[in-house]
Structure 1
Amino acid sequence: MPLAPDELAAFVADGVITKRGFVAAELIDRAAALVTDWYHTDMDQSRLVDYTQRTFAPEFGDHKDLLALFTRSGAADLVHELVGNFSPITTTQIQIRVPEAELQQVQPAKAMHVDGVACPHLDPAELRTFSLLVGVVLSGISDPTGGALRYVPGGHLRMAEWFRSEWALGITDQVPPHIDAEDGRPFLGQPGDVLFMHHLVPHAVGQNSSPTPRLMAYFRVSHVDHASRRLEALRDPWLDFPALTSRIR
């Protein structure tokens, strides 16, 4: 089913669309079982920082049961509505917020940031940006203190202005101070819910004080021309969204 006019309007204003119960239960069950089994049998807590900065279960990044969350759920069709032609999705990023009670060390929190810009583990002059983040909930989260992702609605427009007027390659600040000071809106949901979030929407993740791990699968979508115009896409939030041009300009 195509995106409704109010959903497109919300994406323009907030940079976010949430589709509840969007992914079929059988797809969620297979993916969640794969990640949960890895969590209990193969996770190496000595690699917690690396997992958190990049991906958990890295050996399963191209597993068919994880990729199916994007390719077989209908998510790809909605992405095409927003982005138009996009590069093939070949990997899944798994993010787990481990319950504090199970940790042998502190899991790093993620301060307000935009992915791929001035990341602590990257050279400040290196960009690993994309167009759209698609997040699929694999385990329910009803409490913001359970490691919920927190995002700033409308932050994509404010970040684009900052990138145009104040920011330059090599600056190590990930967001301007007025955005860094915000708590953000927690993304809560149940397995099968999907978050479609503009790449420029700043977001953060805190500790998980709940008794259960929070599991999310993410897909980073790039317009086919994104790699050749990363800087321009930081400054123009609609460059990678040609289908929305008539709504904005």
Structure 2
Amino acid sequence: MSLTVEEKGAFKRDGVLIRRGLAAPDTIRRAVSRIDESYRKGMAPDDIPAYSRRTFAPELGNSAELLALYTQTGAADLATGLLGETTPVTTTQIQIRVPEGEFAGVQQAKKMHVDGVSCPHLDPNELRTFSLLVGVVLSDIYDPQCGALHYLPGGHLTMARWFDDEWSLGMTEQVPPEIDRERGTPFLGQPGDVLLVHHLVPHTVAQNLMPFPRVMAYFRISHPDHASRRLEALRDPWLDYPPLAEIPSALTSQE
């Protein structure tokens, strides 16, 4: 599965690529069945804050049914088309936005951030960055109030400038003030839709005001050289993206 020049140009401009219906229904069904069993039988309300910071159903992180959402859907090919090379993916992050009506006040909305930088639950001198986030929709997200992810198209370019000009390792701010004030674009979709997001695109997650959980599977993808140049990759958004180096600038301009 390949990317067109137009798709690469749009990703370079927005930092986001969406492929609808990429994951087959059978693949989705098998993954959802495993997650639902864990959610219904193994989750206590007190676990939700910690799971929200890391992953729900941690025992399923390396299960074949969940890894198939990346390896057997074409998502891996798309990631390779953007990064050129990728490190092997061995774990899945499951993120569930629980219904606020059932778990009132347990799961707060998240502020604008980029993953792995100045996280409140980590040492601010620690970086847990990567190159590309791949998300697979596992429940119907037809309204922003379903607990949708909100992302800021083009925000990766603003973040790279901020990391280069103003930010330094050890700061606790995750984004500059002008980004923190943004609400972002809600990602709406149906089971099987796949979202690919540049690591530097700032994003937030809303509370789920619907009566059913919102479920996404995420994969953190890295270029093989990323771990040795994390700081440089924060300041140069295309360091980990060699296939995008020659994209004509006309394709990256806003219409």
AA in 2 matched with 1:96 = I
Q: SS state of the match for residue 219, structure 1? A: strand
AA in 1 matched with 2:95 = Q
What is the CA–CA distance in structure 1 between the aligned matches of 2:44 and 2:239, rounded to whole Å? 40
Aligned residue for 1:214? 214
Q: SS state of the match for residue 96, structure 1? A: strand
AA in 1 matched with 2:70 = F
Offset at residue 248 of structure 1 (A): 6.3
- 1:243 matches 2:243: yes
In the alignment, is the contact (CA less than 8 A) between 1:45 and 1:104 conserved in 2?
Answer: no
**What CA deviation, in whole Å up to 9, does each residue of 1:155-197 have, x standing for no partner?**
0000000000000001100000000000000000000000000
What is the CA–CA distance in structure 2 between the aligned matches of 1:186 and 1:248, rounded to whole Å? 28
**Unaligned residue ranges in structure 1 (runs of 5+):** none
What is the CA–CA distance in structure 2 between the aligned matches of 1:74 and 1:145, rounded to whole Å? 29
What is the CA–CA distance in structure 2 between the aligned matches of 1:126 and 1:92, rounded to whole Å? 22
What is the CA–CA distance in structure 1 between the aligned matches of 2:160 and 2:105, rounded to whole Å? 36
Q: SS state of the match for residue 245, structure 2? A: helix
Aligned residue for 1:125? 125
Q: SS state of the match for residue 216, structure 1? A: strand
What is the CA–CA distance in structure 1 between the aligned matches of 2:184 and 2:145, rounded to whole Å? 13
Aligned residue for 1:19? 19
In the alignment, is the contact (CA less than 8 A) between 2:146 and 2:214 conserved in 1?
Answer: yes
- What pairs up with 1:174-189 in 2 under 5 angstroms? 174-189=174-189
Are the structure 2 counterparts of residues 177 and 248 from structure 1 closer, same or farther at C-alpha, using a change threshold of 3 Å? farther
Offset at residue 119 of structure 1 (A): 0.4
- What pairs up with 1:42-121 in 2 under 5 angstroms? 42-103=42-103, 105-121=105-121
**What CA deviation, in whole Å up to 9, does each residue of 1:197-231 have, x standing for no partner?**
00000000011001110000000001000000000
Offset at residue 26 of structure 1 (A): 0.7
AA in 2 matched with 1:212 = F
In the alignment, is the contact (CA less than 8 A) between 2:45 and 2:106 conserved in 1?
Answer: no
Offset at residue 38 of structure 1 (A): 1.1
What is the CA–CA distance in structure 2 between the aligned matches of 1:3 and 1:223, rounded to whole Å? 18
What is the CA–CA distance in structure 2 between the aligned matches of 1:104 and 1:15, rounded to whole Å? 33
In the alignment, is the contact (CA less than 8 A) between 1:52 and 1:108 conserved in 2?
Answer: no
**What CA deviation, in whole Å up to 9, does each residue of 1:107-148 have, x standing for no partner?**
132100000000011000000000000000000111101100
What is the CA–CA distance in structure 2 between the aligned matches of 1:174 and 1:248, rounded to whole Å? 31
**Unaligned residue ranges in structure 2 (runs of 5+):** 250-255
What is the CA–CA distance in structure 2 between the aligned matches of 1:244 and 1:149, rounded to whole Å? 25
In the alignment, is the contact (CA less than 8 A) between 1:134 and 1:218 conserved in 2?
Answer: yes
Percent identity among equivalent residues? 62
What is the CA–CA distance in structure 2 between the aligned matches of 1:214 and 1:118, rounded to whole Å? 26
In the alignment, is the contact (CA less than 8 A) between 1:97 and 1:147 conserved in 2?
Answer: yes
Aligned residue for 2:36? 36
Q: SS state of the match for residue 65, structure 2? A: helix
Q: SS state of the match for residue 247, structure 1? A: coil
In the alignment, is the contact (CA less than 8 A) between 2:109 and 2:207 conserved in 1?
Answer: yes
What is the CA–CA distance in structure 2 between the aligned matches of 1:190 and 1:216, rounded to whole Å? 11
Number of aligned residue pairs: 249
RMSD: 1.0
Offset at residue 5 of structure 1 (A): 2.1
AA in 2 matched with 1:205 = V
Offset at residue 246 of structure 1 (A): 1.1
Offset at residue 33 of structure 1 (A): 1.1
What is the CA–CA distance in structure 2 between the aligned matches of 1:241 and 1:9, rounded to whole Å? 12
Offset at residue 45 of structure 1 (A): 1.4
In the alignment, is the contact (CA less than 8 A) between 2:5 and 2:247 conserved in 1?
Answer: no
